[in-house]
Structure 1
């Protein structure tokens, strides 16, 4: 069935064909040597006759009348609310009527192979089967001797600048250069909307997010604004708002994920920018590019090409606009910062068809995800549920959320997927209460800081920062893991060996990379042995002191602007600078466990499926050995290895031997009075 788009395209092609027939007839009438024996080197008279006879002759009415009737039918189709592809392309690209004629003339060999040989005949060269510049101008009724007509095919004019026609063989004289329509343009005009192969990996599907700023931008775009820079704080929010703005302006949208340009050269990025502009033209859409910083890294040329176009272009970024990016001045706008209520609406909309028991208010509202990321997280959760053969569960949803995290932070810190919960913690009640308060801060920070506006001015971030202080093995790392598990986040442990650098300024650069990556990732950032980089500032006695103080001052400022969740752990709280402690949301001291807690720790570590003997004396272990939780876990593990080697369950003999090993590791004396009646079990 012929669609209105195809009917109009073929109608325009038939108008060109009538002119081709007329020109062929004129050439044949004026041919001085119709019996030339070398005519076989090009298309013969008989072949031309056969080609022209392959189709029924078109109506002999004048070209003007036929075109008027065709355009009247096209007007009626578009009045019914269906824009025709060729007409829409002409409007979007700013093509004149002559430009459209030249496009159709160049397109004919891609629509009907007969025109290859007909053009070869008219070019008087059987090997040149596309319209030349001179032939195209002649068929369009334009004189090749006028600068205006020739200028239509110059690089600065829409046909060439937009990539709708390619002028080949630049070494030939201008009038004999061939004209080719790229395959993507031909395919689009015939009804195919599959993007060009080079662009397929960059195009992203983004659902619109209707916000007041989207309506404002929509009005600006409808009024003729063509370049917008939208600054976002949460990844994905800006692009969703940009798509909504284009929708409000009555336009479609083509969204590019520029993060996938990583490693592309300036030339490659510039080519992709040209392809994106052409694709947006073909689709009658505005262009959304996110993030603009990724394109800026490839050089100025790709950005210049993207910003100096007549198409609506909305650039998304996390930094302020750099005037060096373009000669054009954009309309500057800020993407909204989503509060708890906003995210709850998003999650409820996406989870509407799933188990009502899934409570987004407790599972995911606190996560810094943009509208598009929420949608993708739910899709990823659905895929996880299909693998498990059941409905979407809370764990599936957590996996979906983690799947939205970028991998950049894994190059700078060690990722830990939490496996422990609140039930696994054995801590003093005051410490446990403090940990739950930290988790509550992270869960409700958007409600308090955004909806209730409890933190105003000063450029402060929305992050939560806590200090865990206590001796080694008292549960600081495990507590951070439990908080991450409770919030449905991953835990990233920062390796200080990759951060601290002996060269001046390098430590700050390494920390900035970590904070920048962590700001866009839903995770808990854990700094162990934090006093190494968050230590006290000192009096300046030499250059080393001066630069050490600069490093601390940078960290003080960076913590205030951090938007994530960070936990600092130290064995020496006294070494932490007081200026840091003022900026911390919570400080928790982890004391050595009491005898009662040590008994619970031994019982927790020595539990099934570990095979246990009947002679384990938990009261003795808790009362006699003043261990922190880490040492108890280490001794239990050593005892399990000893039992596995002997092929017996874990009993007091293995536990006493493991404790003796732990004493030696800690540099403590093995005294008979501490081991009591079990001292004889030590080998």
Structure 2
């Protein structure tokens, strides 16, 4: 039986099914004629079993219809198949006005009648195979076969039009990575081995982990393995009215049997308020998979839980290799660098490779294009969680002592060579945890902490995302951890440099536990450090008050870089670099400018403000412009501009 929506040119034709239904209709009408004539010698309406299973046989077996219920279904289909059926029904009823099938006619004319076939809980009415026109006059009302069921019986399968717009057909994907293929096989086993009446309950599974499309591909592969189609619905689209949910449940159960198919229910990115959908899902006795980022709380459902395993470096390498195989400019080292840097779903890797090949059509080297395409794909999930800074600064832009610069270079080496040390050299199997690279940048505002992070990100070729912890920390218990998890899960894709600005919003001396809020505050800090230690990229915390941090937390930070207040030589060097060479200037003296006791951030503010003043006067940048800008900056800092700082300027 074809499971496609509409006709299939490569599947079996509908002719055998039409012939089988016509033969069954003829047999049932013979029983009706015999009843009209008062005879009892008509041949049994169930007829002879067909040599090959037809749609009627499949439907009878799938819904466990008794021979009497099967014959009622055939009788309801008779007016659509045999043009003489109406007159023969009228003759059997002895009433020309009742030229149609009824339950009373079926009870009188068909073999082995039983009243339970008429009830709403019987399969005929429960699954809307047949419906009486008037339920108040049950036995004498016209019986109508559902149009979808009639088309199925004559061999024309399709999805019931009442489900269009709510459900989407999901086709099977290509080859899945090994761990995901095994997950799909496990899901298929859950569907095929579990039964509606089995001890484990209906074949329902909860699928979490990875991203939505990956879970969808796994479900589609599992459906193919189980010989099923797959249709997807969004949880938010399911009806909230109990009566509508009940009608939908019956309709889908019928479709799942007729197609046959499994249902994929996808939850949104954010949890929604309960709307009764759990009762709807629990009522389905057919294959079901519920897909979501997080499993429901314990006790909400009894579904079997499967977690999609993450792809390791070797699986990532295999996907990149297959996606870029044969492309000029791609080397094994380049592929290993891609696999070590990015942790992307298989479909995202293939998308990035396609984008890189398209960009390389103009003759450019595809290796850096693949890297940038990977960054572009990875940053999509982080853009809404932090502020992305395009790394443009270089070592020459950073005015720091050699001790700090050496530590920054060591940080770059740890991140860049982690694949070699952890995987190739085997340190991962020895250390097992705490493999993330964590750093603390400590210093006053404007001393170059963010600029240093930008330089490091540029050296690593990754994105820099500045995460404002004040926006992440929530007063509601548990919400801070959820926000942090979203940040780290999104950043894992591309190994971005995460800069948690103003860590003092979360860190501080470990508070003495006086109430539950203090206890949860400590848990939030512990969770952040745990995720930082497990993060495959670089996570940096910045603070203005290093001494306020708990020493127990400091021991879990791998690198600490102090950014001291710049001295006169450092300030003079910053002044030389902050004003571009193309800027028209007159009489600028970096040594005198270095007398201003301000940080590099304030120096940049003063230089920029003075440049605008000079441009507005249409004259070169001069010391007087810088003096006016310095006064404005000092007012902002709420500090007096002392005579010693501007001595000799004019």
TM-score by length of 1: 0.69
Alignment match, 2:156: 190
Paired residue for 2:526?
Answer: 556
Contact between 1:5 and 1:85, CA under 8 Å: does it hold in 2?
A: no
Alignment check: 8 A CA contact 2:467 2:500 kept:
yes
Trace 1:369-518 onto structure 2 (pairs within 5 A): 369-375=344-350, 381=355, 394-403=371-380, 405=381, 410=384, 413=385, 415-421=386-392, 423=394, 426=398, 428=400, 429-437=405-413, 439-440=415-416, 447=423, 452-454=428-430, 456=432, 465-480=438-453, 486=460, 488-489=462-463, 491=465, 493-494=467-468, 496=470, 499=473, 501=475, 506=476, 508-518=477-487
Matches within 5 A, 1:524-563: 526-539=499-512, 543=514, 547-557=517-527, 559-560=529-530
Distance 1:601 1:265 in 2: 63
- Residue 620 of structure 1 and its aligned partner are, at CA, apart by 3.5
**Structure 1 Cα separation of the partners of residues 562 and 486 of structure 2:** 29
- Please tell me whether residue 590 in structure 1 is matched to residue 590 in structure 2: no
Asked if the contact 1:209/1:243 (under 8 Å) is kept, the reply is no
User: In 1, Cα distance between the equivalents of 2:149 and 2:14?
Assistant: 16
Residue 234 of structure 1 corresponds to 210
**1:227 positional shift:** 3.3
Shift in Å at residue 514 of structure 1? Answer: 0.7
SS at match of 1:531: helix
Q: What secondary structure sits across from 1:298 in the alignment?
A: coil
Match of 1:569, SS? strand
1:636 shift after superposition: 3.2
Q: How does 1:132-151 map to 2 (within 5 A)?
A: 141=110, 146-150=114-118
Distance 2:376 2:19 in 1: 54
Cα distance change on mapping 1:325 and 1:462 into 2, 3 Å: farther
Counterpart of 1:10 (choices 18, 22, 26) is 18
8 Å Cα contact 2:439-2:541 kept in structure 1:
yes
1:176 and 2:141 are equivalent in the alignment: yes
Q: What TM-score comes out, normalization by structure 2 length?
A: 0.71
Counterpart for residue 52 of structure 1: none
Contact kept? 1:5, 1:86, Cα under 8 Å? no
Residue 306 of structure 1 and its aligned partner are, at CA, apart by: 3.1
SS at 1:149's partner residue?
helix
Residue 575 of structure 1 and its aligned partner are, at CA, apart by 1.0
Cα deviation, residue 373, structure 1:
5.0
2:199: which partner in 1? none
Is the 1:119–1:131 Cα contact (8 Å) retained in structure 2? no
Is 2:337 aligned against 1:337?
Answer: no
Q: 1:199 aligns to what? A: 166
Q: Does 1:577 align with 2:543?
A: no
Judged with a 3 Å threshold, the aligned counterparts in structure 2 of structure 1 residues 623 and 246 are, in CA distance, closer, same or farther, namely same
State yes or no: 1:155 paired with 2:121: yes
1:148-202 CA-partner distances (Å, limit 9, x unpaired): 5335xx3363x55556666665555266275453659958962446983243469
Aligned-residue offset at 1:469: 1.7
Gap change, CA 1:307 and 1:627, over 3 Å in 2: same
- Establish whether residue 302 from structure 1 lines up as the match of residue 282 from structure 2: no
Cα pair 2:263 2:288 within 8 Å, conserved: yes
State the distance in 2 between where 1:588 and 1:185 align: 76
The 8 Å contact of residues 643 and 650 in structure 1, kept in 2 or not, is answered as yes
Instruction: Give me the whole-angstrom Cα distance separating, in 1, the residues matched to 2:268 and 2:481.
Output: 20
Q: 1:578 to 1:644 in 2, by over 3 A?
A: same
What is aligned with 2:4?
none
Inter-CA distance 215–497: structure 2 relative to 1 (3 Å threshold)? closer
The range that moved more, 202-211 or 343-352, is 202-211
Counterpart contact for 2:184–2:221, Cα < 8 Å: yes
The structural deviation recorded for 1:536 is 0.8
- Secondary structure of the residue aligned to 1:521 is helix
Distance in 1, matches of 2:129 and 2:575, equals 75
In 1, the alpha carbon distance for the partners of 2:356 and 2:135 equals 54
CA shift digits 1:299-358 (9 cap, x unpaired): 5x53344355443434455656766334x563x555333211122223333445867549
Secondary structure at 2:560's aligned position in 1? strand
Whether 1:324 and 2:304 are equivalent positions in the alignment is: no
1:133–1:179: 8 Å Cα contact kept in structure 2?
no
- Secondary structure, aligned partner of 1:176: coil
Q: Contact 2:102–2:142 (CA<8 Å) still a contact in 1?
A: yes
Q: Would the aligned equivalents of 1:133 and 1:175 in 2 still touch at CA under 8 Å?
A: yes
CA contact (8 A) 2:446 2:600 kept: yes
